Amino acid sequence: MAKNIEVSNGPTDKIYYVTRISLLFAFVLVFFSEINPARIMTQMNKNMSLLTTALSYDRIVVNIKYEINHNYIFKSDIYSLMAASAIMVAGILILAVAACISLGNLRMKRISNYVTLGGSAAVIFGVYRMIVTHRLYRAIDAEISEIVGFKMATEKLPTALFLMLGFAIIEFLCAVILMIAQPRPARDEKCEMSTRYKLFIMALPFLGLTFIFSYLPLYGWRYAFFDYKAGPGTLSMNDFVGFKWFKLLVDNAMMRSDIIRVMKNTLIMSGLGLATSWVAMAFAIFLSEIKNGVFRRIVQVLTTIPNFISWVLVYAIAFAIFSNEGFVNNMLTRITGVVHDHIYLTDESMLYVKMLLWGMWKGVGWSAIIYIAGISGIDQQLYEAATVDGAGRFQKMWHVTLPGLIPTYSVMLLMAVAGILSNGMDQYLVFSNAKTKSALEVLDLYVYTLGIGSGKIPLSTVIGMLKTLVSVTLLFMANGISKLVRGESII
Amino acid sequence: MALTKQEKLDKKAERAYYRKHKPHVKLTGADIVFYVFDYLVFGLFAIICFFPFYYLFINTVSDSEMVARGAVNFYPIGFTLKHYKDMLALGDLGRAFIVTISRTVIGTALMVMASAFCGYLMTKNEMWNKKFWYRFLVITMYFNAGLIPGYTNMLMLGLTDNYLGYIIPAIVQPFNIILVKTYIESIPAELEESAFIDGASYMMIFRKLILPLSKPILATIAIFGAVGHWNSFMDSVINMQNSPKLQTLQHKLYIWLNQSSNIGAVIDTGRSASEIEKIVNQLNSGTVIKYTIAMVTVLPILLVYPWMQKYFEKGIMLGAVKG
């Protein structure tokens, strides 16, 4: 099916390596906030990348809202910065399109040269606009820096801007060289691209999204090694603190006791989950004993519904049933005649068991489905043979059904072991209140409260990072065990 | 496989026959005890699973004073739809509705299209470095940079306090892509080859051949995607902290529920009797509103789920095969 139309066009093909590599560097300049070419303003947030500068007005002005509201700085000055950044980003996108086109045959390559010219011209124009904006900010500073107490323009233009200019010029020159040196395509040649590249380009948007949302966040791990202070500026090497935060986790007594408490909660909750993971299997085995199809169907529908509601709704339900005026208190009042208004949700006794029960209420019916399917896959002849041998109901369950389900169960168990640190935070977040918080804070929730709640970005990054590393290791270990024992991998 | 009319009739007749000539199995005493026990346990569990929803419902359609007195437990008293009307008057809730519904529809549609197309592309071994790119996609299921790096990344992309922050990150779902890919691989390759010989392009084959044939799997991932979007809560809590207008229904419900516990805490700390009475009054009408919001949030799932159950089950089975 694949059509091979790749023909070498002599030494000029080598030039594409240069253009593609410089495009790659230009992309780095778009995404990474430390090397933002648009950082010509001192009051700019340190998390701003070129892309953010181009897109988000709100985030540029976050530190200078007062000055803008009082017309010391005009909105149009900020728009000028945004426009310059946007032109640069657009230029780089055009260059990326050109790079894609250049994967085609000679005629497409010629087209891509023109597109490259346009894209690099746009980037160069963006750089020029950026320099103009910097001048503008200098002029503003001359007027108002006394009044507002800070300088708007940076001392020097950012190095990244010149890097960007350099890459754009390289692209431009390469395109010019190619236009001169490349052989002309045959007159009747049509625009074509080999199948393998065509397919790749079709998949590229999705690969790009994956990169942006799954790989790019890994760059945030750098916060684990820096002293992050909120406010303008970038994380410079002066802020580099090495393993300070890692040490703090171990050395600081308060931190240590916190971590021990959180780990205890996490492991107890996961451990209880593991210890009761057989319940779903038992559910399936006993449900399959019920021969009335309609009843079985109804039970299955009703017991799987809770799996599809969010934890917030589970909490709403818990609230309806167990609050001081909820169902349970109403019933107790009615039965005993004495007013009951116990608030069960703030009661800290047996919290772990309660959380486990909520988890089971939500999940058991759903987890059982896979075992129910497993049971229907067991050979009926085995049961007949067992009946002939005089096995009773329970003996058949124990000696025929259970062994048939054990392989599935072991996979589930291994996956659960690998996920022992990830209980998810929704459940614990919604159920925690002032009284229950310390016992409900699992690792995921702790990372959230530490990072988003109290703004300790580096510490929370360190913990999250360690968690990920341990989880991935556990997963590969579980996979290794599975391969060793069952000869099959689970991931 | 759809059954022909004759086959359907045959099956019906067969079933009727079996019903008439049911083999008479003698139940022993132990059997009876077992069955009673089994039916009882499952019946009870089903009730425990479903009763809370019913309880919530009857409270939302009852008189609020009756609800406050704890009289409404098994059936509605003083039937009224007032609370639903009251709830509509809460301005920001309507907005939350629009946000949640639109993100569910748009997000699911984009996710399904992306999974279908990407899943199709990933069946093509002639793609440049296909093996590498496939792994590049799939491996992201097993690691996670963590909450804070994810958040700073969203900040960097300008997707916090931005409606697109709900949609764009959820477009590419590696797991769904695997499901679609596996499904498409089970379609006979000859179909595609013959289309190729007839001169169809990849896009044409995808649109005219693959898309219609993979409808069942697309329905499955669409339902899972829609439930995920509808229930999604943490992304609103983390990424939309500063823009109440963009918060989802689930987030709003969470905020409402939490307000109550604050009031509860206030009561605990000892106040004058009149003050407490005022707060309690507030609480009384507030509780029903909370129930109502919860009911409206859960209703779509309760309504849709029973009819779609087979798709849900198919989903989990496929997931188990290629977990």
Which two tokens mark B185? 């691989």
Note whether A304 contacts B309, CB cutoff 8 Å.
Answer: yes
The answer to whether residue A423 neighbours chain B at the CB level (below 8 Å) is no
Torsion of CA A447, A453, A457, A463, to 10 degrees: -10
Q: Specify the pLDDT at position B25.
A: 66
Query: What pLDDT is stored for residue A82 in this prediction?
Result: 94
pLDDT reported for residue B136: 94
The Cα–Cα gap between A469 and A475 comes to: 10
CB atoms within 10 A of CB B112: 23
| Whether residues B200 and B309 fall in one domain | yes
Give the residues across from A41 on adjacent strands.
Answer: A153
In chain B, which residue's Cα lies nearest the Cα of A371? B317
Test A309 with B301 for CB contact under 8 angstroms. Answer: yes
- A210-260 confidence digits (pLDDT tens): 999 999 999 889 888 888 766 555 566 567 777 888 888 888 888 889 999
Counting the structural domains of chain B, the total is 2
Query: Which residue from A161, A155, A181, A142 is spatially nearest to A85, judged by alpha carbons?
Result: A161
Most confident of A308-317, B77-86, B257-266: A308-317
CATH code of the domain in which B119 resides: 1.10.3720.10
Q: Give the closest-approach CA distance of B87 to chain A in angstroms.
A: 16
B147 and B201 co-located in one domain = yes
Average pLDDT over residues B132-142: 92
| Statement: residue B281 has pLDDT above 60 | no
Mean of the per-residue pLDDT values for chain B? 84
Q: What is the structure's pLDDT at B16?
A: 81
Mean pLDDT for B238-251 is: 90
Chain B residues with CB under 8 Å of A302 CB are 46-47, 49-50
pLDDT in tens, B145-165: 888 899 889 988 888 888 999
Lowest-confidence pick of A209-223, A423-437, B118-132? A423-437
Gap from B217 CA to chain A (nearest CA, Å): 18
The answer to whether residue B317 sits within a structural domain is yes
Query: Per-residue pLDDT averaged across A44-54, rounded?
Result: 85
Distance in Å, alpha carbon of A336 to nearest chain B alpha carbon: 14
Chain B contact for A479, CB < 8 A? no
Query: What's the Cα-to-Cα distance from A73 to each of A126, A139, A145, B26, B199, rounded to whole Å?
Result: 22, 11, 11, 91, 61
Do the Cβ atoms of A55 and B158 come within 8 Å? yes
Whether residues B47 and B153 fall in one domain: no
Both tokens of residue A395? 């003996």
> Which among A127-131, A451-455, B17-21 has the top mean pLDDT?
A127-131
Q: Assess whether B96 and B30 both reside in one domain.
A: no
Put simply, whether A444 touches B (Cβ < 8 Å) is: yes
Of the candidates A98, A89, A104, the one whose C-alpha atom is nearest the C-alpha of residue A117 is A98
Share of chain A above pLDDT 70, in %: 96
- pLDDT (mean) for A306-320: 90
Tell me, yes or no, whether B310 and B163 share the same domain.
yes
Statement to judge: residues B91 and B234 lie in one domain: yes
Give domain status of residue B184, yes or no: yes
Cα–Cα distances (Å) from B216 to A457, B116, B190, B195, B211, in that order, read 44, 12, 20, 22, 10
Residues in chain A, how many?
Answer: 491
- Buried/exposed code over A367-403 (b: 16+ C-beta within 10 A; e: otherwise): bbbbbbebbeeeeeeeeeebeeeebeeeebbeebbee
* Mean pLDDT, rounded, for B46-72: 86
Do B91 and B47 fall into the same domain? no
Min Cα distance A274 → chain B (Å) is: 19
Contact call for residues B272 and B53 (beta carbons, < 8 A): no
The answer to whether the CB of A357 falls within 8 A of the CB of A269 is no
Looking at mean pLDDT, say which of A14-28, A184-198, A316-330 comes out highest: A14-28
Are B50 and B120 within one domain? no
Tell whether B42 and B100 lie within a shared domain: no
Q: Over range B66-80, report the average pLDDT.
A: 81
Compute the distance between CA of residue B62 and CA of residue B76 in angstroms, rounded to an integer: 5
Q: How confident is the model at residue A405 (pLDDT cuts 50, 70, 90)?
A: very high
**The predicted structure's pLDDT at residue A211:** 95
B168 has pLDDT over 90: yes
What residue type is assigned to position A436 of the chain? T
Is A220 touching B (CB cutoff 8 A)? yes
pLDDT for A111 equals: 92
- What integer pLDDT is reported at residue A83 of this predicted model? 95
Calculate mean pLDDT across residues A161-187. 92
- B23 and B117 assigned to the same domain: no
Residue B87 has pLDDT above 80, yes or no: no
| Predicted pLDDT of residue B323 | 40
Q: What is the mean pLDDT of chain A?
A: 88
ipTM for the whole complex: 0.87
Chain A residues close to B71, C-beta within 8 Å: 330
Interface of A with B in 372-411 (CB under 8 A): 373, 393, 408, 411
pLDDT given at position B266:
47
More confident call, A334 vs B172:
B172
Contact at CB, B309 and A202, closer than 8 angstroms: no
More confident residue, A342 or A419: A419
More confident residue, B22 or B173: B173
CA distances from A172 to A23, A136, A177, A312 (A): 11, 28, 9, 55
Closest residue, chain B, to A426 (C-alpha): B234
Contact A468, A476 (CB under 8 A): no
Range of the domain at B53: 5-60
Q: Are A164 and A37 in contact (CB under 8 A)?
A: yes
Residue B234 with chain A: CB contacts under 8 Å: 425-426, 429
Best mutation target, B32, B138, B148, B255, to test chain A (most A CBs within 10 A): B148
* CATH class of the A245-486 domain in this structure: mainly alpha
Paired tokens of A433:
């209140």
Angstrom CA distances, A238 to A227, A231, A242, B201, stand at 9, 15, 11, 56
Local confidence band at A29 (pLDDT 50, 70, 90 cut-offs): very high
Q: How far is CA B41 from CA A158, A218, A256, A310, B202, in A?
A: 71, 48, 45, 26, 54
Same domain, B50 and B113: no
Note the pLDDT of residue A238.
Answer: 64
Residue A409 has pLDDT above 50, yes or no: yes
Q: Identify the residue among B56, B104, B156, B254 best suited for mutation to test binding to A, counting A beta carbons within 10 A and taking the highest.
A: B156
Q: Quick one: B308 and B177 in the same domain?
A: yes
Maximum mean pLDDT: which of A71-75, A253-257, B25-29, B117-121: B117-121
